[in-house]
Chain A
Amino acid sequence: MRSMQVVRIIPLGAHPRDVSFQSLIMGLEQVLPLQCRVEAIPMDIDAALDSSRKQYHSTELLANLVSLPERGEQRVLGITPYDLFIPVLTFVFGQAQLNNRAALFSTFRLHNEFYGMPHAAETLQSRCLKEALHELGHTFGLRHCLELPCVMNSSTYVEDIDLKPADFCLPCREHLQDVC
């Protein structure tokens, strides 16, 4: 394994409600050889808002992250409380550059409240960790994995996220060991 990968975590827009970055970082660093730090820098993301859809264009937000000057990190991970979309699709949980620097995900649909259920702090925190691992996995070159016990399994429902573990299957892990 090479030297620690440094991940810069950047809140896009407001800080996501009820999400602890502290515990997210702990989770990430447990699963992957990462060194994470949060950096709240002001970013103007209004241009990515589609006012008729009341959603943010995920690809444009990703472009904002890509344009940030590098500051000693290998990866940037954006986290936003706003709902994300890409053209054609009604929404996306997150998006990442395959085998590249930037990733982001939204907490909007990770809240139980979004589905009319009572708030569940732990569930929300665990969904955030899985989304973060999944999108970072893409930046390390992983594609969707068909193994069920693997965080790289693709999720189109929040229930799919709950079903998978906050960890990688063996083949995905082997791939990660080669690249990070």
Chain B
Amino acid sequence: MSAFDPSEITIMVVDDELSVRQSLEAWFQDDGYSMLTAENAAEALKRMQEQHIDIILLDIKMPGMDGLALQDRIREFNQDVIIIIITAFATVDTAVRALKAGAFDYTTKPVDPDELSILVRNAVDRIRLQRENTALRESIDHLQFVDDIVGDSPQMQKVFELVKTVAPTDSTVLVLGESGTGKELIARAIHMNSTRKYFPIIPVNCGAIPETLMESELFGHEKGAFTGAQYRRKGKLEMARGGTLFLDEIGTLGLKSQVDLLRVLEDREFHRVGGERMVKADFRLICATNLNLEDEVKAGNFREDLFYRINVFTISLPPLRERQTDIPQLARHFLEKHCRTMNRTVNDIAPEAMDILKAYDWPGNVRELVNAIERAVVINKSGTITPDDLPMQMASRPASSSEDVTLADVERRHIERMLANFDWNISRTAEQLHIDRVTLYNKIEKYGLKRP
């Protein structure tokens, strides 16, 4: 190993007691380490956002988010930072919990100087090993935390490039793509590869919230702001503080909410419904839609000024049928994943089954593929997925049908197919089709569709 320079190791002390922070800071400064302190979870997360930290000396008992909760939070986005728990009240129980949740070690206050030195020296040894390993891996740069976004096709490579480009900036992003193409995954990938990754990403499905509740959903409300507002409630904008606000199906946002949102984006502040105090808006905005927003603007359903606000950097996700070369890789990825979560052993997909998957046109995109594989894993008995494990209509259906003449024909066939995909689960099918259940029932009746 190369000569060791302690100043290249950054230690953060997280403790609500000032005297503890100061004494540990001074003590480790004498060893030459770079020191930081934080008096609570929020400050600790902020520090982590600002700079790289190698070791965290973490107190368990703190007001607000306690040490164990903070550790869980940190582990969601950072597997590498070494966490050493220092607590005044040691119980075997908390020790076990802390270690299981990924703490490096655990000690009780007051600690022997020697014990603390050894703890930290062990941690430093591990960091030095890690650094040597990452130095080896560094040549391959890859996106983090985008497990389910799979694809070698040129279209997806382009998408990855765009994500990589825009993630570190704070730019607003608009993700376009058909339903089921994975727009939320892209939003998450951008978030997790940005400087805001230590704060939450808050998704809001604009299509699922009635216009009347949208204002309180976004901005929160004070107690008594309106009939039924019995408690003060934090809105999504406040919850996203420091992080990312993901507005899915932005095209369905009502006109009143569009005005509200536009105002926040312009003023960078807002107030809760029924409240006086202005709250600073500190979030990155990512929007997604499967609608053509320009058409919506022309039709008067979407404000032009809001459209220009959100249409800064666009990422278009290709429908699955346009990247058929990715299908085998995706299918295997989700096969492995479903086997893991369901604790099943299905090792492979037979070539005939794979041919069917490749030939199918996937109107429900990746989400439909995920469902098909999940279903296949459940019903499979042989250990290899065969055509029998796949939904019937996949094999029988040609990529496009000459019978479809009128729009109604297309709608009927599409609804029929989607119902079959979801085993006639009305709620899930309606969700996929972006219509409510009543509408779906009406259409089933209109076209005389029957469960096979």
User: Interface on A for B, CB 8 Å cutoff?
Assistant: 59, 85-92, 95-96, 98, 138, 143-144, 146, 154, 156-157
Q: What residues of chain A lie closer than 8 Å to B4, measured between beta carbons?
A: 146
- A sample of 25 cross-chain residue pairs with beta-carbon separation below 8 angstroms, ordered by A number, consists of A59-B26, A86-B19, A86-B27, A87-B20, A87-B23, A87-B109, A88-B110, A88-B111, A88-B116, A89-B111, A89-B116, A90-B110, A90-B111, A90-B112, A91-B113, A95-B26, A96-B30, A98-B26, A98-B30, A143-B30, A144-B30, A146-B4, A154-B30, A156-B112, A156-B114
Asked if B440 is at the interface (CB within 8 A of a chain A CB), the reply is no
Q: How far is the CA of A89 from the CA of B117 in the complex (A)?
A: 11
Q: State how many angstroms separate the Cβ of A36 from the closest Cβ of chain B.
A: 23
Which residues of chain B come closer than 8 Å to A138, judged between CB atoms? 30
Q: Looking at the complex, which one of B6, B86, B117 makes contact with A88 (CB distance below 8 Å)?
A: B86
| B266 CB within 8 Å of chain A | no
CB proximity of A168 to chain B, nearest CB, Å: 15
Residue contact A59 to B31, C-beta cutoff 8 Å: no
Given contacts A87-B109, A96-B30, list 19 more A-B pairs with CB under 8 A.
A86-B19, A87-B19, A88-B23, A88-B24, A88-B111, A89-B112, A89-B116, A90-B110, A90-B111, A91-B113, A92-B113, A143-B29, A144-B32, A154-B30, A154-B31, A154-B117, A156-B112, A156-B113, A157-B114
B32 engages A85 (CB within 8 Å): no
Residues of A within 8 A of B132 (CB): none
Contacts of A95 in B (CB 8 A): 26
* A89-B23 contact in complex given A154-B117, A157-B114, C-beta closer than 8 Å: yes
| Residues on the A chain within 8 Å of B6, using CB | 143
With the chains together, A87 CA to B30 CA distance in Å? 16
Taking CB atoms, residues of chain B closer than 8 Å to A87 are 17, 19-20, 23, 109-110
Complex: how many Å from CA A146 to CA B4? 9
B22 an interface residue at 8 Å Cβ cutoff?
yes
Closest to B18 in A: A87
Q: How many Å from the CB of B307 to the closest CB on chain A?
A: 56
| Nearest 5 A/B pairs, CB to CB | A86-B23, A156-B114, A143-B32, A156-B113, A90-B110
Interface residues of B in 62-121 (CB under 8 A from A): 86, 109-114, 116-117
Q: Which of B265-280 contact A (CB under 8 A)?
A: none
B26 shortest CB reach to chain A, Å = 7
Tell me how far the C-beta of A160 lies from the nearest C-beta in chain B, rounded to whole angstroms: 9
Q: What residues of A have a CB within 8 angstroms of the CB of B19 in the complex?
A: 59, 86-87
Interface string of B113-140 (1 = CB under 8 A from A): 1101100000000000000000000000
